[in-house]
Structure 1
Amino acid sequence: MDKLNYKYLKDELTLEELSELKKKVNTMSDAEIEQDLYKIWLEEESIPLSIGEEYFDEMKDNIDTIIGKKSNRLSFSVRWVQVAAAIMLPLFIGLTIYFYQQSNIILTQEMIVSTGRGERANITLPDGTIVSLNSDSRLEYLPKYYNKKERKIYFQGEGYFQVHKDRKIPFLVNARGILVEVLGTTFNLFVRDKKDFAELALEEGSVMLLSTVSNKKVILRPHQIAKLNHLTGDILVIDDNCIQDKSAWRRGDMIFRNTELLEVIRAIEENYNVKIQVDCKDCLSDLFTGTLPANNLNEVLEIIERSYHLKSIITGKKIHLKQ
């Protein structure tokens, strides 16, 4: 504590030391503060004060005068508590201003959560909304404005949203070429920069999806999928009784139903961050239906090998599938 006190009076504290000093002061009793300050008082001549010695001497004289006027019946302990209060007041004021400034800095900074290839993450927003991020995804929002008049985030990648219901404050997702507005709902959103489409699969609640390219707007009901063309802004809405397949990645699965093998291969590449070359006659246009694990590449390759009579050769992150 002595070292921190001296460094504070010399205005040499780092941010971490200032935080440590605040914690220690909050846990100390009046008697402990009295002892520390009394020791500093006795050694004050050896301390170079950043506030100026003349100011400090004047403050000390004023304190002595005030204490003398009170009464000689005041105990030594009480007198030093008064001294401690007078000396610590600037410290507490300084700490209050510092932490107020730090909280304002945090509020004005943009909060960003992102995942790399093969990574996943969960985030709970200030209003209680839960977002699960698939690999290579990014979510941003401003704490200062979030949950005031609106709950607005910026998003890219793939995410599963469980939006906390609040009829007074809408939840807005601003992504590439689209704006999603909800009050409280559950949906999976797919918006990647390298894809020419965005897709929203609604499990529960109601969602308004707007194309910022064409200004076309649709309102989705549960078990519907909206597929938006980034180039034209057109939105196609289809009913899907297997809507939860779209968020199967959260359970560690990749589910395909009558999907061309080429698209399956692209999904495997994206999920595992690998490059796959397939040598087979016309097999890439074959339709594939099945479930592949999202966390076991060897098992995925074994399923593909058996289904299409292929053999895989792995070299680092490159995979060659050939007959």
Structure 2
Amino acid sequence: MDKLIRQFAENQLSSQELPAFKEELQHTTDQQLEEYLQQEWMSSEADDIRTICPRLSEMKQAIDSRLGLHGSFNQASPAPQPKVRTILMKWFSIASAILLPLMFITTYYFYHERQVEANKEVTFVTGRGEKASIVLPDGSKVTLNHDSRLFYLPSLFGRDARQVSFEGEAYFDVAKDKKSPFIIRQEKLQVEVLGTKFCLRARPKETAAKLLLDEGKVMMTATRTQNHQVVNPGEVAELNYATGQITLFQQSESADLSAWKQNEMDFLNASFRQVVQSIEDYYDVRVIVHAPIGLDHFTGTLPTRNLEQAIHILQLVYGFHYKVKEQQIFITF
């Protein structure tokens, strides 16, 4: 567990290790987590002290050399009574010699820490069957559907532009800022907006990305071909990953991309295999089908929070038999 937390803090967890970390975290008590974090904090403080102390020692030697303080304080050598002005000037010299370098170190330290923080990736992840609502620094609201990931660097999320990277499915309610465009990047596409509401489905394992616009105006660009399309409210943009082509059509011609926000999945003329795949994704189950070729396509809505009801609806449509065993569903015709 210690190793996983350290890797997570340093943003070194792989996508395969992240679910294991979340599982471990759920079985860790608050006291255990507090003790570990306190230990890590003390360790990092000690590292900082070991780094800074040698530099302070070198500074002290330089100061002593400048002020003629290398001799032993135990030597008994007669000296004239110094004047008050001389004493004050010497102490001002000592204070300046000590405080100015310390101020420089402190300023450098906090500047360095800010630079490090600005380059630390901020990541939000949802697993199977999970949803999450997040608020970004500019006030933009994002609702992540299952198996999705959004991340950004604070240094790239500022006044000139607001850049985030994303894969999965989410609903974006972007805060308006004409001077700072909101840019969503994925390996095969880019979406640029100023202030709007839209749903984006961009899963790498699928063959296409889809964007449904509710308000405002956005521009979708294919990374491969640099083809781009401006999308207006009520329109759906579909980007074919293989060709880089973007097609626009009306929302009425597509399944409702935002149905998942109401805990539903919507299908329009979808194959039985596509429906089964969606059930597996939402419910984290495996569906084993023994079906004849040429089943009718499905148009309708299924719940995402009630597996038994979802299977029962499909049973009424297709007339199959099914059996549930642990995390597997066996369907026969």
Normalised by the length of structure 2, the TM-score is 0.68
> Which of 282, 288, 306 is 2:316 aligned to?
306
User: Would you say 1:181 and 2:192 are equivalent positions?
Assistant: yes
Match of 1:41 in 2: none
Tell me which moved more, 128-137 or 244-253. 244-253
Name the structure 1 match of 2:276.
265
Gaps of 5+ in 1: 1-11, 20-49, 62-67, 71-86
Contact 1:201–1:243 (Cα < 8 Å) also in 2: no
Alignment of 1:80-229 (within 5 A): 98-229=109-240
Q: Which amino acid aligns with 1:176?
A: E
Q: What SS class does the counterpart of residue 178 from structure 2 fall into? A: coil
1:294 corresponds in structure 2 to: 304
1:321 matches 2:327: no
The separation in 2 between residues aligned to 1:220 and 1:177, in whole angstroms, is 18
C-alpha deviation, 1:51, in angstroms: 4.6
Q: Which runs of 5+ in 2 are unaligned?
A: 1-40, 49-55, 70-82, 86-97
* Matches of 1:57 and 1:114, distance apart in 2: 55
Give the match for residue 254 of structure 1: 265
Q: What's the offset of the Cα at 1:215?
A: 2.2
Amino acid at match of 1:149: D
Flag the 1:168–1:301 CA change in 2: closer, same or farther, 3 A. same
Cα distance between partner residues in 1 of 2:64 and 2:42: 23
Q: Relative to structure 2, which stretch is displaced further, 240-249 or 230-239?
A: 240-249
Q: For the residues of structure 2 that align with 1:95 and 1:305, how far apart are their CA atoms? A: 69
CA distance in 1, matches of 2:142, 2:99: 45
Deviates more, 1:150-159 or 1:116-125: 116-125
Q: For residue 260 of structure 2, give the secondary structure of its aligned residue in structure 1.
A: helix
Aligned to 1:79: none
Match of 1:275 in 2: 286
Query: Structure 2 vs 1, CA of residues 315 and 93 (structure 1 numbering), >3 Å: closer, same or farther?
Result: farther
Whether contact under 8 Å (1:124, 1:131) holds in the other structure is yes
The aligned counterpart of 1:4 is: none
Counterpart secondary structure, 1:246: coil
Q: 1:250 to 1:92 in 2, by over 3 A?
A: farther
* Cα 1:54/1:141, change in 2 over 3 Å: closer
Over 3 Å counting, the alpha-carbon distance change for 1:236 and 1:218 in structure 2 is same
1:191-241: CA deviation from partner (whole Å, max 9, x where unpaired): 111111111111111011111222221111101001111111111111114
- Name the TM-score, length of structure 1 as normaliser: 0.69
Instruction: Work out the percentage of aligned pairs sharing the same amino acid.
Output: 36
Q: Tell me the SS of whatever aligns to 1:306.
A: helix
Residues in 2 aligned to 1:126 and 1:133: alpha-carbon distance in whole angstroms: 16
Query: Which AA in structure 1 matches 2:249?
Result: I
For the residues of structure 2 that align with 1:14 and 1:209, how far apart are their CA atoms? 47
Check 1:232–1:108 CA distance in 2 against 1; reply closer, same or farther (3 A cut).
Answer: same
1:260 Cα deviation after fit = 2.9
Aligned partner letter, 1:288: F
Q: CA RMSD in A?
A: 3.8
One-letter identity of the residue aligned with 2:225:
S
SS of equivalent to 1:304: helix
CA distance, structure 1, for counterparts of residue 292 and residue 254 of structure 2: 33
